[in-house]
A and B are shown apart, each in its own frame.
Chain A
Amino acid sequence: MKRKLFASAMTGILAVSALTGCASGEVTPNEGNKTPVAIEIPDMTEPTSIEMWHFMSGKQQEVLQSIIDEFNATNNMNITVSAVAQGKIPDLNKKVIAAEQSNTLPAIINVYPDLATGLIEKGAIYDISSFASHPEVGMEAELKSDFVEAFIAEVSQWDGKLYGMPMTKSTEVIYVNKTLLEKIGYTEADVQGMTMDKLAEISKAAKEQLGIPGFGYDSGSNGFISTLKMDGKNFVDLDGTINVDNEWVRTFMDFYKEQVTNGYFRTPGEDGFLSGPFSNQQMLMYQGSTAGASFIDTNGQFELIAVEPAYFEGKDKAVIQQGGSLFVTTDVTPQEQFAAYEFIKFATNTENTAKFATETGYLPVRKSAAETDIVKNILADPEAVYAKVYPVAQTALGYAYYTPAVNNAQSARSTIQEKFEAYVNGNITDIEAFIQESLAEVGTSIQRQ
């Protein structure tokens, strides 16, 4: 607590001494929030060391490290960044929750926005808009014109502040086994921009001719939430309203259930990820994360293509964009916060985001990454899986939505994931029971305050 008070006092003083005036007019008093509107850049003559906690592993970690090494070697402000892998996402979350409790968060954390919401409410996340809008070190123009809008919208959804910067981002595409698709008499053109009815029709053909399911959502919760969004509804609104009790839910849940019952669609179930059955040619297509492409192994047996997610006739297209962003915390000094901002700026510049994305399977967070040689080269490689995914993902990002960062949205998501699977597989038989149970259980996470 002491540390926080100190940080609060420091930023307070800085805010008062800042020359630029208040930009946003009225500032609502927000307890625990020490975000100044404009800020003086801290004195960076002393060496500054900061830590970044993340959930990356393997190749991802390697690429991150190479970016960090370059930053440490080239920055002229004596900043040293060190990255600490904190296990998988749930492990990292536990660590962050524990560290927040004892005010020992590092300068940067790479977490999902829904975890960040809880931290923001507790005043643990620093609003970097003061740096981002600064005339000297800012990047306002790029934020507006170059960064992918959906990514920035997600991290600035809290009263218009900028609480993070996108890093490990992905969206979803449908992966198709082109070889099998042609075997059952369809072509690539049939699956481009297809409707749900078309998807169901092709899946039926796959079941009838090949005896395998045609389609499945790798993440049932994303499938559910995206389908809701096609009707313009959020699964959970920012104010905590849960939108599962409506006619559209009844309609599409029965649609999915019928497909699964007939064996046209399937759920991952015990397989965990559909990349397994898909690689084994035991399903024709599946909708999954762009970051999961490297887990598909065609084993030289079939040709893989990626297409945009299907949509319901008469509804909007909708696909989720998701992933972790980089957040700066309030448990560190203003120098460290500024150092963190500088590093984030570096890590998300055009070259680095292109490099990071192409080597990890995540998506570049800037549109200008498409102009870099790294991206151009990989797109020219007909063998690269990334080359098949990237253009489709770029189109999909045009209409991608983000889920409102409601506190505990992750629990709400795993609840709806289980409910979705249970209903389409016939373990919950009554749609009203599905709706009531979902409301109650999601409510435990969202509405109990």
Chain B
Amino acid sequence: MLNNKGKKSYKGYLYLLPALLVLSVFVFYPIINAIVFSFDETKAVGYVFGFGSYKYLFEDKRFLQSLVNTVIYAAVVPALSVGLSLMIANTLANLKNEKLKGVFQSIYFLPYVTSLVAIGVVWSWLFNGQYGIINYLLGFIGIDPINWLSDPNWAMPALIIFSVWKSLAFNTLILTTGIASINPQYYQAAKIDQATNSTIFRKITIPLVSPIILYTYIISLIAGFKVYTEVFVLFNGRTLDGRVSTVVMYIIDRFYGDQDFPLAFAAAVVLLLIILTVTFVQRTIARNKVHY
């Protein structure tokens, strides 16, 4: 028995070997490096241990502001995106017309395909306060023009709209795949019982795809905490004096702008700890609700 377990253990690692090898060199090693150098007190050559960077970080208003923005973003975008994707994926799954289903699925996936640079520029045109199509359409329902990209109060909503639009594609694809892999027998049984669509959705679809829902949510959450490119392309590098600054943006500014590696690493470690805590809590809460 013992022998058997030992053999199994070895086998598991064998399967993991390629991933472990690559991750060790290109992910774990640089992370350890980042952690070690976040405690470096000197920006020059050499190493002096200390907590100076962390201390500075929590006294830096811009960092705290970036942290708040990031938390707001991570609280809103993943939930909104996964929720909407689930509804879309479910609606698509119920479509009888296979051809139309394929067309819709392809269209919805489009935002994932394009690089963010050009599409970010396009969205900044659509959001334009004076000539943007979005304000034009809002005019029809009697809403006054909004300075989406200049008014600090509207910048975050604009960012959220753009990000949800962009992230729906991935989530919808994964959830569609998840729903499609549910055994049709469940649905047939439910139909025999004359269950309504919404009952089927709640009692069969959701529980059965719950691991996939959790997956998309966790992935979106992690991506949400790491948001940067979306902000950069939509606002063309501006942050409206910090109103849409994010933690990763702060990290990049310190890293490449200031070459202040200890401070950048410290901010990255703080972000890592926050995401770890949040995902751990999420997974613990969800553990009881997810069915395998």
Give the interface of A toward B (CB within 8 A): 90, 93-94, 97, 118, 121, 269-270, 272, 407-408, 410-411, 414, 418-419, 421-422, 425, 427-428, 437, 440-441, 444-445, 448-449
Tell me if A444 and B150 are in contact (CB < 8 A). no
Q: A269-B149, A269-B150, A437-B61 are in contact. Are A444 and B240 (CB under 8 A)?
A: no
- Number of B residues with CB within 8 Å of any CB on chain A: 30
Chain B's closest residue to A422 (CB) is B241
Tell me if A449 and B43 are in contact (CB < 8 A). yes
Tell me if A444 and B60 are in contact (CB < 8 A). yes
Tell me if B150 and A94 are in contact (CB < 8 A). no
B256 close to A (CB within 8 Å) = yes
Q: A440-B61, A448-B263 are in contact. Are A411 and B242 (CB under 8 A)?
A: no
State in angstroms the CA–CA spacing of A360 and B121 once bound together. Answer: 25
Tell me if A97 and B259 are in contact (CB < 8 A). yes
Tell me if A418 and B240 are in contact (CB < 8 A). yes
List, in ascending order, chain B residues with CB within 8 A of A448's CB. 43, 56, 258, 260, 263
Those of B212-255 within 8 Å (CB) of chain A? 235-242, 253-254
Interface pairs A-B: 8 shortest CB-CB: A411-B257, A422-B241, A270-B149, A408-B258, A418-B241, A269-B150, A445-B258, A272-B236
Among B44, B240, B256, contact of A93 (Cβ-Cβ < 8 Å):
B256
Chain A min CB distance to B250 (Å)? 10
Tell me if B236 and A444 are in contact (CB < 8 A). no
Tell me if A418 and B242 are in contact (CB < 8 A). yes
State in angstroms the CA–CA spacing of A427 and B244 once bound together. Answer: 14
Main secondary structure of the interface of B (DSSP, over half): loop
Q: A410-B257, A444-B56 are in contact. List 16 more A-B contacts (CB 8 A).
A: A97-B259, A118-B259, A270-B124, A270-B128, A270-B150, A270-B235, A408-B260, A411-B258, A421-B241, A422-B240, A427-B240, A440-B62, A444-B254, A444-B260, A445-B257, A445-B258
Chain B's closest residue to A270 (CB) is B149
- Can you list 9 A-B pairs, Cβ within 8 angstroms, ordered by A? A93-B256, A270-B149, A407-B259, A411-B257, A414-B253, A427-B152, A444-B254, A444-B258, A445-B258
B211 close to A (CB within 8 Å) = no
Q: A94-B256, A97-B259, A410-B257 are in contact. Are A444 and B62 (CB under 8 A)?
A: yes
List, in ascending order, chain A residues with CB within 8 A of B147's CB. 270
State in angstroms the CA–CA spacing of A411 and B260 once bound together. Answer: 11
State in angstroms the CA–CA spacing of A418 and B124 once bound together. Answer: 18
Among B129, B242, B258, B259, contact of A270 (Cβ-Cβ < 8 Å):
B129
Chain A's closest residue to B42 (CB) is A449
Those of B42-61 within 8 Å (CB) of chain A? 43-44, 56, 60-61
Among B56, B149, B150, B239, contact of A425 (Cβ-Cβ < 8 Å):
B150
List, in ascending order, chain B residues with CB within 8 A of A272's CB. 236
Chain B, residues 249-289, CB within 8 Å of chain A (1/0): the string is: 00001101111100100000000000000000000000000
Tell me if B253 and A411 are in contact (CB < 8 A). yes
List, in ascending order, chain B residues with CB within 8 A of A270's CB. 124, 127-129, 147, 149-150, 235-236
Chain A's closest residue to B257 (CB) is A411
List, in ascending order, chain B residues with CB within 8 A of A408's CB. 257-260
